[in-house]
Amino acid sequence: MALSKQQISVVTMSTVAFTVCFAVWMMFAVIGIPIKKMLSLNETEFGLLIATPVLTGSLIRLPLGMWTDKFGGRIVFFLLMLSTVLPIYLISMATEFWHFLVAGLFVGMAGGSFSVGIAYCARWFPKRQQGFAMGIFGAGNSGAALTKFVAPAILVAFGWQMVPQVYAVAMLITALAFWMFTYSDPSHKVSTTVTVREQLRALKDPRVWRYCQYYSIVFGGYVALALWMTKYYVSEYGFDIKIAALLAAAFSLPGGVLRAFGGYLSDKFGAHTVTWWVLWVSLVALFFLSYPQTQFTILTVGGAKTFHIGLNPTVFTILLFVMGVAWAFGKASVFKYISDDYPHNIGVISGIVGLVGGLGGFILPIVFGALVDLTGIRSSAFMMLFGVVWVSLMWMYFSEVRPLYAVRERKRITQDSLE
């Protein structure tokens, strides 16, 4: 089935706009490093600095999803982008820690664009194509990689203050282009008789909270590591900021651009199958990433011998890349669950799931910093993520896998009795 001009234009411009919004949302992953040095921040304070924009970008997702259902995605997306232009620019004038935190809260609204765009795009496509359409839009997560290519070059050439100035101009131009090349369809809005209370009734559905848990890993973990990895490479392996950002993009880039393929796989094999394998691949990768650089000495007949065990930058980056690919598929499969189960309430449900996933992206970098301050082990971030993935796998097994096996067993017994 050929796509219409409107469908192509909507999904293309929405993806471009989301890419820019996500690049802005991840800006502190790069400029936070010189700011940390300038303000003499510890690891926990650095975690708070880079995570602050994620807080508002997460909290605002639910109301934005509700407004998208009520007023339409085009107008909500456009006004949201315009509202961030001035706060982005003001970051370049900040000099105190609290200045960055306050400005970061307003800039973080750009991250709320996801719950607007995902519902806006999905409604332009039939159900059998929604996973792919949402996957294409979700590829805007590659803005995390974009900022790792663009921001270090601007920073090295002109200083970190130039980065928010350039990003503010880019956001304004993108907002105007989005308005010019997108469309509205009144039939995509929910009935005006639907109340906020009725929209929020979904919070009582246990499936919604299960999807929130999955998304807190594949998206919240993605955001947290996208913010954390540049500094991790600098601290753990001694790379300069440009090389560190480039290597960190090995995780951010596939975690964004392959989301469309994850949507295709989810359409073909189902959300459950894709998510199940994503969690298993993540668990294995995190097991190896969690192992700290270790040096130990043993006494042999020939004297003491010292050995070193740890991941070198190459192996570390390969594992990070694999996990980025898996999480790209997982982000798409979670929203395939939503489009399958809640076709008439996508905006609200995506807002709830996006909010919880985004809060994971806010909390985790702060916890990462606190763990490093408390333990001195940089890989403790991966240890924590390993535990969270294990919890998700157990929840999925008892809530989805075992009931599925039970249904199959009943069918087999029934079939045997008939024979």
pLDDT tens for each residue of 143-169: 878 888 888 889 888 999 999 999 999
Distances (CA, A) of 97 to 45, 224, 333, 336, 418: 9, 20, 38, 40, 73
Provide the pLDDT for residue 415.
Answer: 67
Q: In sequence order, which residues have a C-beta less than 8 Å from that of residue 408 and are 6 or more positions away?
A: none
Amino acid code (one letter) for 30: V
Assess whether pLDDT exceeds 60 at residue 191.
Answer: no
Greater pLDDT, 58 or 346: 58
Is the separation of the CB atoms in 267 and 284 below 8 Å?
no
Assess whether pLDDT exceeds 90 at residue 263.
Answer: no
Provide the pLDDT for residue 326.
Answer: 92
Provide the pLDDT for residue 308.
Answer: 85
pLDDT class of 418 with cuts at 50, 70, 90: low
Provide the pLDDT for residue 188.
Answer: 66
pLDDT tens for each residue of 201-255: 767 778 888 888 898 899 889 888 988 998 899 988 989 888 998 888 888 888 7
pLDDT class of 75 with cuts at 50, 70, 90: very high
Provide the pLDDT for residue 296.
Answer: 83
pLDDT tens for each residue of 94-131: 999 999 999 999 999 998 888 888 888 888 888 777 77
Ordered domains of the chain (ranges, CATH): 5-187+199-418 (1.20.1250.20)
Assess whether pLDDT exceeds 60 at residue 196.
Answer: no
pLDDT class of 198 with cuts at 50, 70, 90: low
Mean pLDDT along residues 327-339: 86
Greater pLDDT, 246 or 2: 246
Is the separation of the CB atoms in 365 and 228 below 8 Å?
yes
pLDDT class of 323 with cuts at 50, 70, 90: very high
Rounded Cα distance, 178 and 163, in Å: 22
Mean pLDDT along residues 2-24: 87
pLDDT class of 26 with cuts at 50, 70, 90: confident
Mean pLDDT along residues 177-181: 93
Is the separation of the CB atoms in 268 and 140 below 8 Å?
no
pLDDT tens for each residue of 347-380: 677 778 878 888 888 889 899 999 999 999 999 9
**DSSP alpha helix (H) spans, 181-270:** 196-199, 206-215, 222-237, 241-257, 259-269
Length of the chain as a residue count = 419
